[in-house]
Amino acid sequence: MLVYALASTWSPKPSQSIAVVITAFATVGAIIMAHTSEDSSRTDLLRVTMWIIAPIALAQSLATILFLVNPVVEDSYFRSKVFEFLLGDEARYLFTTLPNNVTDPEKSGGLLFVNGNKASMVMAVWGLVYFSLWLRKRSFFMVATTVVCMTGSVFTGSKTAIILCAIIPASFLLIPAVIRLRKNPAGMVFSIAGLGVLAAALGALAGTASDLLNRADEAATARVGLWSAAAGYFQQSPLLGLGFQGWSLHWAQDAASYGLRDNYQPHNLLIWNWANAGLLAPILILLVFIFFGLYYVKAIARANSRREALALSFELAALVWMFAHAMFDNTELFGTSHTLPVFALLAARASTVVTSQIPGSLADGRVEQLEPLKGFQ
């Protein structure tokens, strides 16, 4: 928060820092409250939160699928009062001064988004968390919600979502074995080999998906242009960045030379934060993410069952998806406001689970007897 506040002193438009400082304050406050609640409550707050979100998650995901399959229904929704009520100016001016990618026939944002890429991230994070809850306490509702959310994420048409959906779930199924079998050389070699085979299989699959690769290449070309421009701006002011509104002013002058629109943001969390607040901002973001990751790795290593290790791994997968998506899109470390509650709870649990005894039910104080993994201790 202090970094963003200081950056306002050298920014072309200092008032833009106010919203960023408020967002940072709200994020930190949410994490602190979630951590306090995890320590003092005997209720699994993550499970309760996801039950509350479930009707919204299902409606959003099913609508995303329907809108991609039937654009006529989507167009009717775009012109409805409900759309305008839910999204305000983003809906009101979608076809005039605030265009976005859901008007592309190959994109879908469901009920709550005008940007399919952001929609895909939100539904994927929900899906991964629902799967982690199913691993701890299996129920048809949890696994069905997982499937619907992940399907909705893919049906947005987001190339980032399709690629991450092919990589992250499969990888985080294997990661607990890699972490927990580190003292068993044979197990470690087997797990790493499994990751290698997975990567090769995904590469072969991608090689056959020519249409997807062509569309992904177009998106990648735009990002290369944005990031190339950012590299030039970095050479001009590596420490202080461009200040708030600085990116917009610089890019508006250079966009035409890259053949891109002049209102693009850099589509990268670290570049965006460097541009706004200088080099210290992205360094702090990386440190925060590494901190959460290390805590989860330690928790996975200490988990007392296979199911608990996998559940923790998929909680970490949700955090990784938010970060990975933010490296290719205009989202924050916590994703969007739709995923902030989940991010805060996961961030709080990152430390809570390590200081606990890693029970089967993380927050209710009981040690649940879960299925042990033979030879996994």
What type of residue is 33?
M
- Three-class SS of residue 48? helix
- Give residue 329's pLDDT: 83
Task: Name the burial class of residue 188, with classes exposed (0-12), middle (13-18) and buried (19+) by CB atoms within 10 angstroms of its CB.
Answer: middle
DSSP labels for 273-313? HHHHH-THHHHHHHHHHHHHHHHHHHHHHH-SSHHHHHHHH
pLDDT at residue number 178: 81
Taking each continuous run of H as one helix and of E as one strand, the counts in the chain are 16, 0
Residues 230-259: what's their mean pLDDT? 89
How confident is the model over 54-97, as pLDDT tens digits? Answer: 999 999 999 999 999 999 999 999 999 999 999 999 999 999 98
Taking only the tens place, the pLDDT of each residue in 35-52 is 666 555 545 888 989 999
pLDDT value of position 283: 93
Confidence of residue 363 (pLDDT cuts 50, 70, 90): very low
Dihedral, CA of residue 23, residue 26, residue 28 and residue 33, to nearest 10: -160
370 confidence band (pLDDT: 50, 70, 90): very low
| Banded model confidence at residue 355, pLDDT cuts 50, 70, 90 | low
167-184: average pLDDT: 80
The contacts of residue 140 (CB under 8 Å, 6+ apart) are none
Q: Mean pLDDT across the stretch 212-229?
A: 72
Distance of CA 323 to the CA centre of its chain: 5
**CA dihedral sign, ordered 276, 277, 283, 288:** negative
pLDDT exceeds cutoff 90 at 133? yes
306 Cβ partners below 8 Å, 6+ apart?
Answer: 176, 370, 371, 372, 373, 376
Residue 196 has pLDDT above 60, yes or no: no
Taking residues 103-120, what's their average pLDDT? Answer: 93
Strand partners, 335: 332
pLDDT of residue 261: 84
Q: How far apart are CA 320 and CA 289, in angstroms?
A: 9
- The one-letter code for the residue type at 39 is D
The CA distance from 376 to 373, in Å, is 5
Residue 361's φ and ψ, nearest 5 degrees, are: -105, 110
Q: Residue 357's pLDDT is what?
A: 41
Residue 341 binned pLDDT confidence (cut-offs 50, 70, 90):
confident
SS3 state of residue 366? coil
Does 184 score more than 60 pLDDT?
Answer: no
Question: How confident is the model at residue 224, as a pLDDT?
Answer: 86
Q: Give the C-alpha separation, 257 to 41, whole Å.
A: 56
| Residue predicted with more confidence, 162 or 179 | 162
CB contact burial 128-154 (16+ within 10 A = b; e otherwise): bbbbbbbbbeeeeebeebbebbbbbbb
What does pLDDT average to over the chain?
Answer: 80
Over its C-alpha atoms, the chain yields an Rg (Å, rounded) of: 21
In three-state form (DSSP H/G/I as H, E/B as E, the rest C), the secondary structure along 224-246 is: HHHHHHHHHHHHHCCCCCCCCCH
pLDDT of residue 86: 93
User: What predicted TM-score, i.e. pTM, was given to this entire model?
Assistant: 0.81
Amino acid at 235: Q
Q: What percent of the chain has pLDDT over 90?
A: 37
The predicted pLDDT at position 37 comes to: 65
Residue written as token pair 């879960």: 370
Q: Indicate the domain borders of the chain.
A: 2-208+240-355
**Would you state the pLDDT for residue 45?**
85
